[in-house]
Structure 1
Amino acid sequence: MTDENPKQQQALLEEIEQAKAEWEQKTLQPILDKYGVRRDEFNLSDGAPVDLLYGPQDTAELDYLDDLGFPGQYPFTRGIQPTMYRGRLWTMRQYAGFGTAAESNQRYKYLLDQGTTGLSVAFDLPTQMGFDSDSPRAQGEVGKVGVAIDSIADMETLFDEIPLDKVSTSMTINSTAAILLSLYIAVGEQQGVDASKLRGTIQNDLLKEYIARGTYIYPPRASMRIITDIFGFCKDEVPRWNTISISGYHIREAGSTAAQEVGFTLANGIAYVESALESGLDIDNFAGRLSFFFNVHNNFLEEVAKFRAARRLWARIVKERFGAKKERSMRLRFHSQTAGSTLTAQQPKVNVVRVALQALASVLGGTQSLHTNSWDEALSLPNEDAVRLALRTQQVIAHESGVADFIDPLAGSYAVESLTDRIEEEARAYIERIDDLGGAVAGIEKGFQQSEIQEAAYQAQLRQERGEDIIVGVNEFQTGHQPPEDLLRVDEKVERSQVERLREFKASRAQDDVDKARAALKKAAEGSDNLMPHILNAVKKKVTLGEISDTLREVFGEYVERVVL
């Protein structure tokens, strides 16, 4: 509302309510009687109804300075930078990686030539799960959903002729994040780039793996130790690196609502902060390097509001719950990616429209970094033409739409502010329920988050099957389905050639150095030393990713998923 006194505000609201009642009777009702509406109910992502009309009564409790404020100031609802995109555009990333390191290196160079401003590395499943390409567990999966990285030799090839002091690199990796970061640091050293100059992000978010995705190796509490070791190491050695990207993306892909995505993601963030504090770190020494990763779904205004709510809620949590003093610690910086789960194999070119709308919602929500999916990703890894079009989508929004010239242009919208408040309130309620269970790790062990997401996904599927939620080309506006012919396929020869290179690499090593490095790592894992220096030493001594993971498996064991019904 305004700065009028409470009596004036109340009188104004009553006047508006009276006028609204008159409008409903004289203007709205005759039209409803004559024509009706398209359907009985309009809903948000969780099935909650969208009100017929939003107005001042929906934002009557909003305090501008406390709830909105100004860009770059607490609680950061309106953005974390005073100038937002007037000062600098968001980082345009394209998630890429397939086959061998050499093939992916060529794709990265192509993307950089096309105007990509940051690399985003996709790894194959064996790399994500801590298996070398020659492991029986890797058979049939090498290079399929990302690039295969077994050793420092692969990492050298992946970034060949790409100056690591000039690019920002995001690596979507979790269970083996400490190993991939160590490989990146080692390759930087070979290029003459000091670790202090490296910029980028590792996802490193294991809690969401237990909740929604499944690429975990060790039990949760062992994983938390590795994560906090990375925090402590990077604070001094790699200060410009974002040590974790706390991810709601996969939680949403698994079927959560917008409020669940925010609530579960920030609850995980709380767990990481608490673990770091318990290890002796100071909140203002590491919180500023935390980053987040969110999905961008189809409900346009709800998604814009979701990002604003997440920023405000996280700022309040870090200040009020953890006592941070620096505003930098309270800023929720986030990368966003358009929703893979909304891409359809039916009429796949329509995905171009979905991605454009989702990307625009992300920009209007104040993202710091954005990846736009390619239209063909419901069918295969993206081909070069599809990747280029996805990148051009961001560039058109940035340079032609005009929206980047405005800072938080939807602020003040009755609908957007009401949705922002609603999502913050619901997300906070989820966090309180998780606190009552003993925190995010305890909640995961009891199956709470998994169960909530499963129910939300089930209800969404029912709405689609009943035709309440229309998916163009799937349950309405259907045509005969003919898959495109220009899809990217990873040749089966990729696996054979990768395994052969790995065998040659292992044969060229000094085995005594490998054994000593693994023994030192095992001893550190059995004790309380920070693991990062030992992992970094191991990759330099040519210990492979699978061997490092196996060494840690010997100490920590492997996690067995709790079945939630």
Structure 2
Amino acid sequence: MFDERALEKIKKSKEEWEQGTLAKSLAKFPERKKVFTTISGTPVERLYTPLEVAGLDYDRDLGYPGTFPFTRGVQPTMYRGRFWTMRQYAGFGSAKETNARYRYLLEQGQTGLSVAFDLPTQAGYDSDHPLSMGEVGKVGVAIDSIDDMRVLFDQIPLDKVTTSMTINAPATVLLAMYLAIAEEQGVPFDKVGGTVQNDVLKEIICRGQYIYPPKPTMRLTVDLIEYCFKHVPRWNTISISGYHIREAGSTAAQEMAFTIADGIAYVQACMDRGLAVDSFAPRLSFFFNAFTNVLEEVAKFRAGRRTWARIMKERFGAKDPRSMMMRYHVQTGGVTLTAQQPLNNIVRVALQAYAAALGGCQSLHTNSYDEALCLPTQQAVTVALRTQQIVAEESGATDTIDPLAGCYYVEAMTDRIEKEIDDYIQKIDAMGGTLTAIEQGYIQKEIQNSAYQFQKEIESNERIYVGINKYTMKEEPPTNLLKVDMKVGEIESEKIKRLRAERDPERWKKALDRLREVSQTDENVMPAVIEAVKARATIGEICDVWREIFGEYRPKEFV
């Protein structure tokens, strides 16, 4: 973008500035610290000039919104056309309680739903299972059967609202329930829109909500992708997740690199099944975190889009531009929230939402300020939604596309993160791919090392955390926290008991037998799962069929 003569002139004038104006200032007013870094530990230079982006080629590296390599966004007009989907992640207690929260949020201007399931549901256990005791409805809604799903979406038209479901190992079961409810509402599958997370690789890496070994898990994942591209064309079949990788302690570059590595594994698995890349890739989606260092986050999103576009085009031979688009949902950083001075979290979330908007997300969840203490209260979740709306309507960030493009710092950071991503992908490829890297513990160890370094910096006061290691104060114990009634477990268990007594036992048995038969072949399991949920088989009963066939995964311990 700059010729050699111009760059030489800038280099000379910068040296003069450093030796003159800067040197005099530093003699009187030394800088706060010797080394400045981002949250991820990346060094930040005192000043960025065209010298740091001398190799930038506009057409090659940036281009235009809606065109390869999508650095500047995946839509030609971005938010000048419409805002991102405002999708507050919500779920607690019973389906009835959660339905009331969903309807409240929709009334307040939310434009999409995002379902949080409780831990038993995520692990494929019914609410009356011994391992579910004390966890039913605690961190999400308890969904045992199609009956619960029916209540969850009562009076919510599934052809008008898109729904994101954060569910992984049992993703096929929950999607089957959702499709069955849509059918009951008279909504054809081609009118149903939304996303299912369906990303078990990241569960194995860092989150722990896996059930089956990697190989059968990948089979179920691909079955869902294959079924949806044929029958549910508006459904995003997987949300390849970096969010939890970042929550576990990764840097911004590691979050993007390991998520893209997982994406490569899923694309390869689909192609190994015989699916043409351009048949399924346009419905792949991603899920990322947003931390408080706004400029690093913006650079991360831009670098990720550019990297994914090039991988899909050059590595997998995609021809459809939609296959090269990294479309993603963002959630603000849960791990950044503090129980101390919780109102400070409103500011953190606002900055993180601003970063997501400047970075070009397609969907956004803003955390509630009280989430370090409890499930969000109605007041807190309203403030979180209003935060999105203020960023969208008042900040000006949505009026022009990719507003930080050309900023020397942001472009230099984008290039730096892209290089880190490429380096990690090359290392993982050299090991034999993502599954091998996970099995060897490489990715887990990289995240653990970063998490340790970050914590060490906080404890030594090298990194300031307001309210934690600086600007602390005495506080009264918090009040008015949302608490889930522990009786919800008993209530859900009674509901399951009634369901088992009322359902057609012959239809139920036939459906599970069919599922067991199909699961031992190469046939796609989705039609059998849909029939099983219609026969009122529970999530635990369906997942137990697969536990019996596939076994349960026990990862290696790494030191």
Q: TM-score normalized by structure 1?
A: 0.98
CA contact (8 A) 1:201 1:245 kept: yes
Structure 2 equivalent of residue 21 of structure 1: 15
Amino acid across the alignment from 1:483:
P
Alpha-carbon distance between aligned partners in 2 of 1:164 and 1:49, rounded to the nearest angstrom: 47
**Hey, which bits of structure 1, 4+ residues long, moved more than 3 A?**
none
Shift of 1:564: 1.8
Out of 533, 538, 552, the position equivalent to 2:532 is 538
SS in structure 2 opposite 1:405?
A: coil
Alpha-carbon distance between aligned partners in 1 of 2:186 and 2:197, rounded to the nearest angstrom: 25
Structure 2 equivalent of residue 125 of structure 1: 119
CA contact (8 A) 1:209 1:215 kept: yes
Alpha-carbon distance between aligned partners in 1 of 2:514 and 2:535, rounded to the nearest angstrom: 12
Alignment of 1:109-188 (within 5 A): 109-188=103-182
Out of 84, 94, 101, the position equivalent to 1:100 is 94
Alignment of 1:408-419 (within 5 A): 408-419=402-413
Structure 2 equivalent of residue 258 of structure 1: 252
TM-aligned CA distance change 1:400 to 1:46, over 3 Å: closer
Amino acid across the alignment from 1:291:
S
Q: Is the counterpart of residue 563 in structure 1 residue 557 in structure 2? A: yes
Shift of 1:517: 1.1
Out of 49, 54, 74, the position equivalent to 1:55 is 49
Q: Is the counterpart of residue 343 in structure 1 residue 366 in structure 2? A: no
Q: Over residues 351-405 of structure 1, what are the superposed CA-to-partner deviations in whole Å (9 max), with x where a residue is unaligned?
A: 0000000000000000000000000000000000000000000101111111111
Alpha-carbon distance between aligned partners in 2 of 1:38 and 1:539, rounded to the nearest angstrom: 61
Structure 1 equivalent of residue 497 of structure 2: 503
Structure 1 equivalent of residue 506 of structure 2: 512
Amino acid across the alignment from 2:138:
K
Amino acid across the alignment from 1:381:
L
Alpha-carbon distance between aligned partners in 2 of 1:272 and 1:409, rounded to the nearest angstrom: 33
SS in structure 1 opposite 2:398?
A: helix
Alpha-carbon distance between aligned partners in 1 of 2:265 and 2:549, rounded to the nearest angstrom: 23
Structure 2 equivalent of residue 241 of structure 1: 235
Alpha-carbon distance between aligned partners in 2 of 1:337 and 1:138, rounded to the nearest angstrom: 27
Alpha-carbon distance between aligned partners in 1 of 2:225 and 2:133, rounded to the nearest angstrom: 34
Amino acid across the alignment from 1:522:
R
SS in structure 2 opposite 1:403?
A: coil
SS in structure 1 opposite 2:381?
A: helix
Amino acid across the alignment from 1:475:
N
Alpha-carbon distance between aligned partners in 2 of 1:21 and 1:12, rounded to the nearest angstrom: 14
Alpha-carbon distance between aligned partners in 1 of 2:518 and 2:475, rounded to the nearest angstrom: 56
Alpha-carbon distance between aligned partners in 2 of 1:46 and 1:486, rounded to the nearest angstrom: 35
Alpha-carbon distance between aligned partners in 1 of 2:468 and 2:40, rounded to the nearest angstrom: 20
Alignment of 1:114-513 (within 5 A): 114-513=108-507
Shift of 1:49: 1.4
Alpha-carbon distance between aligned partners in 2 of 1:439 and 1:553, rounded to the nearest angstrom: 26
Alpha-carbon distance between aligned partners in 1 of 2:556 and 2:79, rounded to the nearest angstrom: 44
SS in structure 2 opposite 1:260?
A: helix
Q: Over residues 467-522 of structure 1, what are the superposed CA-to-partner deviations in whole Å (9 max), with x where a residue is unaligned?
A: 11100000110001333201100011111111111110111112222111111111
Shift of 1:182: 0.2
Of residues 515-524 and 19-28 in structure 1, the stretch that sits farther from structure 2 once superposed is 515-524
Structure 2 equivalent of residue 5 of structure 1: none
Of residues 462-471 and 480-489 in structure 1, the stretch that sits farther from structure 2 once superposed is 480-489
Alpha-carbon distance between aligned partners in 2 of 1:249 and 1:219, rounded to the nearest angstrom: 22
Alpha-carbon distance between aligned partners in 1 of 2:14 and 2:101, rounded to the nearest angstrom: 57
Shift of 1:48: 2.6
Amino acid across the alignment from 2:228:
C
Alpha-carbon distance between aligned partners in 2 of 1:379 and 1:483, rounded to the nearest angstrom: 11
Amino acid across the alignment from 1:276:
C
Structure 2 equivalent of residue 6 of structure 1: none
Alignment of 1:62-77 (within 5 A): 62-77=56-71
Alpha-carbon distance between aligned partners in 2 of 1:309 and 1:19, rounded to the nearest angstrom: 30
CA contact (8 A) 1:345 1:483 kept: no
Alpha-carbon distance between aligned partners in 2 of 1:345 and 1:183, rounded to the nearest angstrom: 36
Amino acid across the alignment from 1:67:
D
Alpha-carbon distance between aligned partners in 2 of 1:158 and 1:39, rounded to the nearest angstrom: 53
Of residues 229-238 and 478-487 in structure 1, the stretch that sits farther from structure 2 once superposed is 478-487
Shift of 1:225: 0.4
Of residues 258-267 and 31-40 in structure 1, the stretch that sits farther from structure 2 once superposed is 31-40
Alpha-carbon distance between aligned partners in 2 of 1:495 and 1:441, rounded to the nearest angstrom: 37
Alpha-carbon distance between aligned partners in 1 of 2:477 and 2:415, rounded to the nearest angstrom: 43
SS in structure 2 opposite 1:250?
A: helix
Q: Over residues 544-564 of structure 1, what are the superposed CA-to-partner deviations in whole Å (9 max), with x where a residue is unaligned?
A: 100000001111100102212
Alpha-carbon distance between aligned partners in 2 of 1:557 and 1:135, rounded to the nearest angstrom: 18
Amino acid across the alignment from 2:526:
M
Shift of 1:527: 1.2
SS in structure 1 opposite 2:134?
A: coil
Structure 2 equivalent of residue 554 of structure 1: 548
Amino acid across the alignment from 2:154:
D
CA contact (8 A) 1:217 1:558 kept: yes
SS in structure 1 opposite 2:113?
A: strand
Out of 38, 44, 59, the position equivalent to 2:38 is 44
Alpha-carbon distance between aligned partners in 2 of 1:131 and 1:374, rounded to the nearest angstrom: 28
Alpha-carbon distance between aligned partners in 1 of 2:40 and 2:78, rounded to the nearest angstrom: 30
CA contact (8 A) 1:374 1:382 kept: yes
Q: Over residues 423-470 of structure 1, what are the superposed CA-to-partner deviations in whole Å (9 max), with x where a residue is unaligned?
A: 010011111111111111111111111010000000000111111110
Amino acid across the alignment from 1:301:
L
Of residues 37-46 and 131-140 in structure 1, the stretch that sits farther from structure 2 once superposed is 37-46
SS in structure 1 opposite 2:482?
A: coil
Alignment of 1:76-91 (within 5 A): 76-91=70-85
Q: Over residues 288-316 of structure 1, what are the superposed CA-to-partner deviations in whole Å (9 max), with x where a residue is unaligned?
A: 00000000011110000000000000000
Amino acid across the alignment from 1:186:
A
Alpha-carbon distance between aligned partners in 2 of 1:116 and 1:342, rounded to the nearest angstrom: 24
For structure 1, the 5+ residue unaligned runs are 3-8
Shift of 1:21: 0.4
Alpha-carbon distance between aligned partners in 2 of 1:311 and 1:364, rounded to the nearest angstrom: 14
Q: Over residues 213-271 of structure 1, what are the superposed CA-to-partner deviations in whole Å (9 max), with x where a residue is unaligned?
A: 00000011111000100111001110100000000000000000000001000000000
Shift of 1:46: 3.0
